[in-house]
C-alpha cells in the first residue's frame, strides 16, 4: 500500500493532505504523483471522483516556489470547475506560501487584474478569460513551467481548442504539460502529440471487475442537500446494520456528528482513531448498539460483519474496484443486501463507468419525498403498535386513562391524541439538556424504576442488563437495583442520580440484537 509520505513531498504538503482527511492516494494519484514529480509529461484518463485534481495538484504545488511570478497555469472548461480546482489547490498549499487565483468569465476583470497584480504563483482559468487577459497584457505567462489541461474533452466539446492552442503558443517550450480527460477523442490525441513531450498515459483500471449479485441502486442527489437526502433514504428503509462510506476522514467525522445529532445510532471509523477506539466502535456495530457505521475505504478494509443489510456510498467510490470492495460488505452468507450510491450530477459519469466496468445492473431511484418518508413512518408506527397490542404489554394504568376519557371522546380521537403526544416533536427542538422528573415510579427509596419493552423473549438475563447499564453509565454493577424479567417486558431499578443517564443511554439501544424502548415505570396500582 502506498501512502502519501512515500512520495518525495515536502512535509508541509503531506501535512496539508493529512488535514484534508485523505488517508491514502487514489489509484490515479499513486500512478501520477511520482511521475509528475520526476518531470514527465502525462496524460491521465480519469473523470471527476477519481481524485484527479489532487493527482496533478499535489506535485504541482510541490514544485512551486514563493517567487513572485506565475509558474503554473491550469485550464478548465467551466468557471465552476476553475473555482473548485482553485479551492482544492489552496487546501493543498495551506502550509506553503503559494497563491492560487481562479480567473473566469462573468467575474469583474478589474477585480482579477488587481488580484493578479498582488502576485500569484498559480492561475486556474477558463480559456476565454485567460486569452482576454493575455490580449490586455494583464497576465504574463513567460515564467510558466507547468501547464495543466483539465477535463480536456469537455473543453473540446465547448469549442475551446483554438483558444487553448493560442494560449499554449504564449508559453515556454521548456515546460511540463499534463492533460486530464475522461475520454480520448482524436482531437485530444492530436493536441497531445503536438504539444506534449513523450507523454506517458495513465488510465485508472480498465480491467473488468465483478460485482457481487446483490441489489444495487443509485440516487441522484445534489451536493447541497446530500445529508438531507441521505436521511430520507435511511428513514424509508428497514436497516438492520448499515455501512456508510465517505471519501475522507473529515467526511466521516462530519457525517457522524450530523447523524448523531439527528438521532441516528451512528458512529465513525477511520485511521486516525486509536486501536482501542476502533475496537469499541466495531464492537458496538457488531452487537447492533449502533446501526450505522460510517467509514473510509481504508478503515472498512477487513471488516467482516455478517448481517450488514445496507452499504451506502455517501461519497461515490474512486474506482470500480473500490465500489466492488465496498458493496461486498453486504449480502454475506446468502443474506439479502442492498448497495446504494448517492450520485451528484458531476459524478454521473463516474457512476456510469462503474456500472459499465462491473457489468452491474444498477437501477436508479428517486430520493423519497417528505410525504413518502411520513408514510413510511406511519407504517413503522403501526407495526410498533400492533406488536405492543399483541404482546399485551401495555401498562394497566394507561388503560384506565383511556377508559376514563372514553366517556367523553371517541376511541379514534383518544388514540390519535396519544400518538401525537408520544411521537410529535417540534422540528429544531432538542439539543438542550432537559431536567428529568420521572415522577413516582414505584421504586425503592432513592431509586427510579424503568419499564423495558423486552424480556425473556429477547433472551434477556439479569446479568446482561447489569453489564449493559454499568458499562454505558459507568457505575458498578451492584449499584443496579431490583430487576424483574417477564416474558415480554422487564422492570429495572437504578439509583436516582444516574437515572437520566441510564434513560438517555439505554432508550435507543439494542440488547441481544433487539431494539429496546425504555420508559419510567408506573407505580403498581394505587394503594
Q: How far is the CB of 26 from ligand AMP (least distance, A)?
A: 4
Bridge partners (DSSP) of residue 491 are: 451, 484
Q: Nearer Cβ to ligand AMP, position 341 or 453?
A: 341
Which residues lie closer than 8 Å to 485 by C-beta, 6 or more apart?
455, 456, 460, 461, 462, 465
Cα–Cα distance list, 88 to 79, 111, 253 (Å)? 14, 22, 19
Q: Nearer Cβ to ligand AMP, position 29 or 509?
A: 29
Q: What are phi and psi of 148, to 5 degrees?
A: -120, 130
Query: Using CB under 6 A as the criterion, which residues of the chain lie in contact with ligand AMP when the complex forms?
Result: 22, 25-26, 29, 48-54, 88, 247-248
**Cα–Cα distance between 138 and 117 in angstroms, integer?**
8
**Cβ of 355: how many Cβ atoms within 10 Å?**
18
Q: Nearer Cβ to ligand AMP, position 253 or 372?
A: 253
Q: Nearer Cβ to ligand AMP, position 8 or 374?
A: 8
Bridge partners (DSSP) of residue 21 are: none
Q: Nearer Cβ to ligand AMP, position 332 or 346?
A: 346
Question: What is the widest separation between alpha-carbon atoms in the chain?
Answer: 97
Bridge partners (DSSP) of residue 342 are: 219
Cell numbers at 513, concatenated: 440484537
Q: How far is the CB of 315 from ligand AMP (least distance, A)?
A: 7
Confirm if 52 and 319 have CB atoms less than 8 A apart: no
Three-state DSSP at 220 gives: strand
**Cα–Cα distance between 36 and 177 in angstroms, integer?**
9
Q: Nearer Cβ to ligand AMP, position 45 or 488?
A: 45
Q: Nearer Cβ to ligand AMP, position 54 or 244?
A: 54
Q: How far is the CB of 28 from ligand AMP (least distance, A)?
A: 8
Chain-centroid distance of CA 451 in Å reads: 36
**Among the listed residues 498, 491, 497, the one whose alpha carbon sits nearest the alpha carbon of residue 519:** 491
CA angle 395, 396, 401 (to 5 degrees): 105
Q: Nearer Cβ to ligand AMP, position 49 or 288?
A: 49
Q: Nearer Cβ to ligand AMP, position 112 or 322?
A: 322
Cell numbers at 441, concatenated: 415510579
Q: Nearer Cβ to ligand AMP, position 223 or 471?
A: 223
Q: How far is the CB of 383 from ligand AMP (least distance, A)?
A: 39
Tell me whether residue 255 is exposed, middle or buried, using C-beta atoms within 10 angstroms of its C-beta: 0 to 12, 13 to 18, 19 or more: buried
**Cβ of 437: how many Cβ atoms within 10 Å?**
7
Helices 249-261, 226-235: crossing angle, 10 deg rounding: 60
Cell numbers at 453, concatenated: 419493552
Q: How far is the CB of 203 from ligand AMP (least distance, A)?
A: 14
Q: Nearer Cβ to ligand AMP, position 18 or 461?
A: 18
As a whole number of Å, the CA-based R_g of the chain is 29
Identify the sign of the CA torsion 214, 220, 223, 229.
negative
Cα–Cα distance list, 58 to 10, 13, 55, 213, 236 (Å)? 10, 7, 6, 38, 41
CA dihedral 457, 462, 465, 470 (to 10 degrees): 180
Q: Nearer Cβ to ligand AMP, position 326 or 522?
A: 326
Amino acid at each position: 500500500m502506498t501512502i502519501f509520505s512515500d512520495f518525495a513531498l515536502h512535509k508541509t504538503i503531506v501535512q496539508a493532505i493529512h488535514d484534508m482527511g485523505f488517508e491514502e492516494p487514489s489509484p490515479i494519484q499513486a500512478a501520477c504523483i511520482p511521475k509528475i514529480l520526476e518531470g514527465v509529461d502525462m496524460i491521465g484518463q480519469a473523470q471527476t471522483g477519481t481524485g484527479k485534481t489532487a493527482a496533478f495538484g499535489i506535485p504541482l504545488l510541490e514544485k512551486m516556489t514563493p517567487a513572485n511570478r506565475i509558474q503554473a497555469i491550469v485550464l478548465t472548461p467551466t468557471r465552476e470547475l476553475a473555482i473548485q480546482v482553485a479551492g482544492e489547490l489552496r487546501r493543498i498549499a495551506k502550509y506553503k506560501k503559494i497563491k492560487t487565483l481562479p480567473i473566469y468569465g462573468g467575474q469583474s476583470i478589474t477585480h482579477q487584474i488587481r488580484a493578479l497584480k498582488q502576485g500569484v504563483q498559480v492561475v486556474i482559468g477558463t480559456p476565454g478569460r485567460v486569452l482576454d487577459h493575455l490580449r490586455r497584457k494583464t497576465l504574463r505567462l513567460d515564467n510558466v513551467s507547468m501547464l495543466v489541461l483539465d477535463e480536456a474533452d469537455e473543453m473540446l466539446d465547448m469549442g475551446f481548442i483554438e483558444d487553448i492552442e493560442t494560449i499554449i503558443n504564449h508559453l515556454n517550450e521548456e515546460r511540463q504539460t499534463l492533460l486530464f480527460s475522461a475520454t480520448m477523442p482524436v482531437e485530444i490525441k492530436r493536441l497531445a502529440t503536438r504539444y506534449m513531450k513523450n507523454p506517458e498515459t495513465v488510465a485508472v483500471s480498465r480491467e473488468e471487475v465483478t460485482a457481487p449479485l446483490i441489489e444495487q441502486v443509485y440516487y441522484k442527489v445534489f451536493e447541497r442537500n446530500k445529508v438531507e437526502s441521505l436521511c430520507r433514504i435511511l428513514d424509508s428503509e428497514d436497516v438492520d446494520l448499515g455501512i456508510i462510506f465517505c471519501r475522507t476522514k473529515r467526511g466521516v467525522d462530519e457525517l457522524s456528528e450530523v447523524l448523531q445529532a439527528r438521532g441516528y445510532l451512528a458512529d465513525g471509523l477511520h485511521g486516525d482513531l486509536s486501536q482501542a477506539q476502533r475496537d469499541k466502535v466495531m464492537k458496538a456495530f457488531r452487537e447492533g448498539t449502533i446501526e450505522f457505521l460510517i467509514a473510509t475505504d481504508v478503515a472498512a478494509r477487513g471488516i467482516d460483519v455478517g448481517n450488514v443489510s445496507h452499504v451506502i456510498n455517501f461519497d461515490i467510490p474512486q474506482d470500480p474496484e473500490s465500489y466492488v470492495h465496498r458493496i461486498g460488505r453486504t449480502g454475506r452468507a446468502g443474506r439479502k443486501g442492498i448497495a446504494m450510491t448517492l450520485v451528484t450530477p458531476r459524478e454521473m459519469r463516474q457512476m456510469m463507468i462503474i456500472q459499465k466496468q462491473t457489468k452491474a445492473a444498477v437501477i436508479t431511484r428517486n430520493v423519497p419525498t417528505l410525504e413518502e418518508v411520513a408514510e413510511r413512518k406511519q407504517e413503522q408506527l403501526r407495526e410498533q403498535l400492533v406488536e405492543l397490542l399483541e404482546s399485551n404489554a401495555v401498562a394497566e394504568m394507561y388503560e384506565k386513562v383511556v377508559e376514563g376519557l372514553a366517556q367523553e371522546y371517541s376511541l379514534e380521537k383518544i388514540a390519535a391524541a396519544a400518538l401525537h403526544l408520544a411521537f410529535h416533536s417540534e422540528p429544531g427542538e432538542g439539543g438542550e439538556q432537559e431536567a428529568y422528573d420521572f415522577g413516582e415510579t414505584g421504586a425503592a427509596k432513592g431509586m427510579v424504576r424503568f419499564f423495558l419493552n423486552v424480556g425473556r423473549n429477547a433472551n434477556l438475563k439479569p446479568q446482561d442488563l447489569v453489564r449493559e447499564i454499568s458499562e454505558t453509565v459507568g457505575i458498578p454493577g451492584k449499584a443496579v437495583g431490583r430487576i424483574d424479567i417477564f416474558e415480554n417486558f422487564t422492570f429495572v431499578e437504578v439509583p436516582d442520580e444516574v437515572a437520566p443517564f441510564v434513560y438517555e443511554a439505554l432508550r435507543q439501544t439494542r440488547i441481544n440484537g433487539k431494539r429496546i424502548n425504555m420508559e419510567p415505570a408506573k407505580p403498581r396500582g394505587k394503594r
